Structure formats: C-alpha cells, structure tokens
Structure 1
C-alpha cells in the first residue's frame, strides 16, 4: 500500500469549499440516493463489517451521471445553445447523454473504439436524438484528444469526466450519502480511480466532515496513473493502459483531481485482473448483481487491504469498511473470462504444467498425487515418446495447499512448473495444447459426460483401461451440472472388439467422434 502525504492545515478551506458545492449539487434531478448495503458473506469471510455503496443502481448503472448533470445544469442559456461535447470510455458518456435529454441540450460524445458495446448502445438509448456519438482512439485519453479538436472547431462546452469542480462536487455527493447512511464507526472508504474525480470528491468531503476516516484509492495494476503521480509528486502520463477495467483506463489524471487527492487521500492500492475478477464474483454472491471490472476495483482493494493488515498486525482497526461499487455496465461476453479468472484471483485454483514419464503406471501415480482435489482443467496431447506434458488446473483452498500439491508431484519424481501467476499460460497457452501427433497411431476419439461432483474426474481417470495409452485428454469445469471430457485412446486394431464392453463398464454416456471432420482435419495425422 502506498501512503499519500498528509493534508496541510491550510488545505482545509479547499475541502470546505468543495463540501459546500457538493451539498448544493443538483444531482437528485436525475440520480437517487443509492443503497449502502451490508455484504454478509464477505463480512463473515473477512471477519470485518463490509458495506457496498451501490452506485451500480443509478439510472445509467454508474455514479457518473451525478457529476455530468451537476456540470450541465449550471450552463447559461448561450452555452446551452452551443451544445456540449464530452469524451468518455462509456459511463460518463451515459451521464452526459441522460443530462442532455433531460435539459434539452445537444451533445457530441467521443468514445474510444474499445468501449464495450453495452455502453455505446446505452448512450444512444439515454440520449436519443440529442446525442451524436463519435468513436475514436483506444483509450479515454485518445478520445479526449479528438474531443478537444472538435470543441475547437464548434465552440461547444467541454464536459470533463473528472477534472472540473462541478463534476467533482457532483461525485462528492456519494461521500455525503455514505456518512449520512452510516453514522457509526467507519474505518475506511475504498474508491475506484481512473482520472480521479470520484476519489477527489469523496476524499475532500469525508476529510472535511470526518477526518479520522481513511480514504483509499484503488487502481488496476496496468492503469495506475494516479498512484504513480502521487508517488512522484507530479502528474505522470502513461504510455499505455490496460483495458480490462475500461471505465478507469486513463493515461493521465486531472490537474485538479491530482491536487485534491494529494491533499486528502490516505493511500493508494493496485490490484491485478485476477483480483478484480474475484471481486466481481464476491459482489455477485452477496447481491446477485454483476458489476463491471471498474465497479469491482474498490472491493478488490478492500480485500487486499484486509489481507495485508492481517499479515502485519493481525487486525484492522475498528469500524466498517466501505467499497464503492461504481458501475455495472458489463459486456455479457466478458463473463466467461471473469468466471475463469476469479478462481485464480481468490487463490481457489492452482495451475500446473506437470511432466510425467510416458510409461505404464505414471498416469495412475499422477492421479494419486492429486488425491481428492477437484480438477478444474486437464489438457494433454501425446507428443513425446519418452514423457507426457500435462496442463492441469486444481481447486484449492489456500496458497499452502497449492505448495503442498506441487510437493506431492515432485515426490513422484515429476517435473512441475507452477503457472498460477503466469499471464501467458492463463490467457493463451492453456488453449493451445494439442495439434497433430505422429505418435497418436490407432487413436480413437470419444466424448464423455459425467455428473459434476468432487472427485468425479479423478474417478473417471482411475477407470481407464490400464493397457491402452491415453493420447489426448481435454476437460474444463464450466460450472454446469455435467462435466464434459474429450479423450483419445490408442487401441490396436486387433483389440477393437474389447472397446464396447470397456465403454459400457465405465458407465458414462459417451459418443464416438473418431470420424468427426474437424478432428480429422486438425488433430489426426
């Protein structure tokens, strides 16, 4: 955790001024006071009272309409007539679109081409005929450059997503609600950070009213412009930003937000993609709602904070911990990736590459080393006459269990590579194991289904014919009621008659895919 310089005494006036602006903000023309909900499952697991500030419940499914509307409602008639222009990765764009429709102001909104389609569609829906969308660049900063050019050409008012006093004051109303909703002991508020508007507004208001409450910003590890800027003492411009948490993918924070955060923020945290995915799942389990990656940033930081303090001093000081769930504009097609990575982010899945001898009995020794652990993924394709390379994912309860599994493999004289924290393996290599093999002679391909329960895959592996070689194996747990396996078995032609009784004895539904055209094209010599 990176500490931020303590506020000086003469900064109090600036915080008081922003507090007054937040109290007078016109956000409730379009927004509502969002719930501050207990997260009972998380609280029980972390041993701390955890509260979620549900900004994902706003009409545009994020907090951004607060600042956007508060800025636009203050425009004079001449400014309204010239219209507004904005740049946004999506959530601010929706706020501007809704405000434009509400106030009757024409708006041009520049969004990066990487913005999730769900956000682009929502901007059109909220803004209707009052909004024109321009797609440009790969990040918010690229879109902002295009917006600045268009503003110079047309003279419209630029509605900044974060570096504007009225926008920051609008976002500060989130803090006023938290303090009003939870007047009891409050240890810290965790805030997702992109350009810093929400963090600046929340921090200034909280420090003006309850300076003992910690305000902690949380950024994605690959989009940490605010954390780097506060560490350096001046604004840092990143060359590139990661786009998984697209709502906070900002290359450079604002001048005003930086100054306010430098004065009032207690610390900054960085979290990786796996931790964000785990936090998305945590929020779903407690609320049955799915936040977008940026919306889960704060909770990922909260969990990291609790874990770090538990290691250092055994406890976190008294008081509730609040995470702002800032948005829920999630593209549906990201859910598969999130579900897959959440297990690793929670340290519930370990991923190994294990090399075993290509000899009779070694596969059974491998299964014995796995014990009763549930297997989440199993990939193998014959490719070497002397050794077999297996990619396996295993469900675990802790890092200690992961280390114990690696030790169990080594005790069988297997070479082990722990890939749990390896980005290349998790993103790409796990999907590329296979291909044709000249060693896969007399291969028969079968697809099996079995009831998905702990130990089921290990039981299946233990029943495979000891005299026939396994030349291909693929399994991935998808959270369904039934597991699905693809197996290549090398059966000499003179033993084909033994296959039907063997398959019947296994007792699992199965299909012969040996003549499948895609298999013959891609995997068969």
Structure 2
C-alpha cells in the first residue's frame, strides 16, 4: 500500500461527501470488467463507464458539486461550452431549478445545441456568440460581470475538481480496493487532477492526450501551463490549448514519462473496435484510455487496470470520417496519385494487378499532365495491411509511376 500524499485526507473527505450528495441525483456509473481487452493484454481490464451517466459524460459531476456549494445564495449560472460541459450544466440547472445561460460558438453543431436544450429545458437559455471559442468565453465572462452571475469553469475550479474526483471514489468502492493502474484522458485537467488528488501515490497513472493538444505534457516540461495553440479539435472532449492553473497545481508532480500521446487517426481504431465488438458508443476523448492500453501493454501483465471511458456523446454523422481515419491508420486503406498511360489497355493492365481482396473505393481523373499520360486519384481498400507490399511491387514491375498520399495531411484535406 503506497502512502497518501499531503492534503489527501482533507481532499478525500470532500470527495466522499460530494459523491454521497450525488446519489440523490444519479447513480454511480458502472465499473465493468472487459473480457475482450483483458484477454488481449493479459490483465484484468475494467472500464469506468462515464458514457452511461445521465448526460453520457463525467462533466455533470463537477457541475453538480460547484453549483451545490453556492446555492441558494446564487441562482444564475453561466458557462461557455460547445460540448459535454454545457450538457452537464444544463442538466444540473434543471435539477436545482435555477437559471442557466449557456454560451456556445455560432459554429456549434445543431445536435449539440438540441441536446443541451433538452437537458436544461425551460431553465436554460442558449446564446450563440462568436465563430471561435475565445469569443464565446469572453462573452460569457462579460455577462457574468454585468449580471452578477456565477461562472462555471469546465475544469479550472477547485469545486469542479472535487466533483470529478467522485469517479475515483466510486472506482475504489466498486473494485473493493485499489487498481494497480488508472488510465485516463486529459484535456483541461479537471478529471485527472481530481482522480490523482484522491488516489495520490497509491496507484500508477497513465495520462493520455491527443497529439494535437498536448497541454499536460508541455506544462510538465515547462513547469507551468503553456498555450499549445493551434490545436487539433478532432478529439473535442480533450482538445484544450492550455491546462488550468488549479489543475496543474495538482498534476505538476506527475512523471512526464506517464503521459502518452495518441494520433487522432489512431484513436479512431478504438472507437470502431468498441462499437463493432462490444456495442459501446464512445466519443474520441472517451476512447483515449482504451487505445492507450497498447502503449503500456508490457507493464500491465497480470495487473488490475481501470480505463476511464470519459464520454459517449458521439455524433453518428462523424462515423464515416472516423471509419476512414481508422482504416488509414490501420494500413488497410491507401490513396495514390497514379500516372496512367493514355493508351488502350492501360487501365486493364492496372486492374489485373489488384488482388481478390482489393477494392477500389475512389477513382478520379485529376488532370492530364501530358499528351500521353493522365493523373488519377485512386483509393484502394483491402483486408490486410500486408497486402499492399505485393501490390506495390507489381506496380513497380509493371512500370507504373505513383505517389502514396495517404499520410499527406495537406493533400488529404483537398482530395480525400
């Protein structure tokens, strides 16, 4: 049993009290052993299913705790969010019967606006302000200053951090003790700060960030929060440009070696796998901890590991993009610019090179670069990444000229 850190006792008492208070609003989310992952990694892998909360993410925990601390003195609450935080605040405004004003960017998808309105009902007002989040945030804070409303930070607030720590309280209770390792996603740091403050050094940690928003990793290197803009917003639940000051104060002792960075395309592999194999719907941030198992596979053999599936607010209109990214990362789908001779039979010669499991998923003439040749964008999907080796060798032997553009992000934005 590892020793508890300083401040742990006081923080734990607050976390336990917050967790008990939550039971009047919603039940504990399940902690479920996943046999599929346990067998693959030779460990006891449990998923903490925050995707099964009333708003399909852990965010309502922090919103609940921060609001209960100031009610009844405060009756108007404000947040700036286009995602899970907005839905958590809306849910709690309805529960407490208080007014909420939720600022969202003008570019927020209609599905997220509708879900937020559904959770908040008549108790909330949604204001669409700004094309980018910084304008939205400034409008929310200006409203608070003029109206005397209470601003609810998505992560950089001690009461929010305490509320998120209820995830750890439930894990210890449900598991009947300590896991060997906790794997959890990091955005602004509210969840990770809460969990680490509760468990202290009694467990090992793996903190997972998308490569396009490495706010924790860069903060640990610099010794303070730094702005990592511009960020990739694909993993929207963890795409935060700067770690919170309060969250960093609780995470600054973390080992930088415990931070794992995952590419946005790689995360899509776990989203598709969990949907197809387990029937579990996860948003990109919710899949971070599961995909990171591959990075710690050698060190978790025989251990008890908890992956926090932080959310399942997935817009199925994104599914084609997620599948596309997963296939490209897995190597079963590639795109080429092919220089096709302009002669009878050239296309047939190319088609004869394809194997029985190779499927053309895109074929488009881009331009004729010369009288005797034309440029073709071609996408090929196969069952195994290894099939491309023999295929490309046959292209070379046949004298075809081609360029693999699968991983060229600039070209992909325009032609794929």
Q: Same fold by TM (over 0.5)?
A: yes
User: What is the root-mean-square deviation in Å for CA atoms of aligned residues?
Assistant: 2.7
Provide the C-alpha distance between the structure 1 equivalents of 2:411 and 2:35, rounded to a whole number of angstroms. Answer: 35
Cα shift at 1:236: 0.7
Instruction: Note if contact 2:44-2:302 (Cα within 8 Å) is conserved in structure 1.
Output: no
Counterpart selection for 1:393 from 368, 380, 390: 380
Is it true that 1:263 corresponds to 2:243 in the alignment? no
- Choose from 200, 204, 219 the match for 2:197: 204
> Cα offset for 1:152?
0.9
Rg (Cα) greater in structure: 1
Deviation digits for residues 59-117 of structure 1 (CA, Å, limit 9, x no counterpart):
1111100110011111143223xx12122232111111111111122111122334332
Cα distance in 1 for residues equivalent to 2:183 and 2:132: 24
Find the aligned partners of 2:373 and 2:296 in 1 and give their Cα distance: 44
Are the structure 2 counterparts of residues 317 and 409 from structure 1 closer, same or farther at C-alpha, using a change threshold of 3 Å?
same
Q: Which residue of 2 aligns with 1:289?
A: 280
What is the distance in 2 between the residues matched to 1:46 and 1:420?
A: 30
Q: Shift of residue 368 of structure 1?
A: 4.1
Q: 1:334 to 1:156 in 2, by over 3 A?
A: same
2:362 corresponds in structure 1 to 378
Q: What is the aligned partner in structure 2 of residue 337 from structure 1?
A: 321
Contact residue 348 and residue 397 of structure 1 kept, 8 A: yes
- The structure 1 segments of at least 4 consecutive aligned residues displaced by more than 6 Å after TM superposition are none
Q: Which of residues 78, 89, 103 is equivalent to 2:73?
A: 78
How does the TM-score come out when normalised to structure 1? Answer: 0.71
TM-score by length of 2: 0.88
Residue of structure 2 aligned with 1:405, choices 381, 387, 391: 391
Tell me by how many angstroms 1:360 deviates.
Answer: 4.5
1:120 aligns with 2:107: no
- For residues 10-409 of structure 1, what are the structure 2 equivalents within 5 Å? 12-25=5-18, 26-46=21-41, 48-80=43-75, 83-183=76-176, 186-207=179-200, 211=202, 213-264=203-254, 267-306=258-297, 316-375=300-359, 377-381=361-365, 383=368, 384-390=370-376, 391-398=378-385, 400-409=386-395
Q: 1:401 to 1:194 in 2, by over 3 A?
A: same
- Name stretches of at least 5 consecutive residues in structure 2 with no aligned partner: none
Q: Report how far residue 388 of structure 1 moved.
A: 4.2
Q: Which runs of 5+ in 1 are unaligned?
A: 1-6, 310-314, 431-525
Deviation sequence 1:365-386 (CA, Å, 0-9, x none): 4334332333251313273542
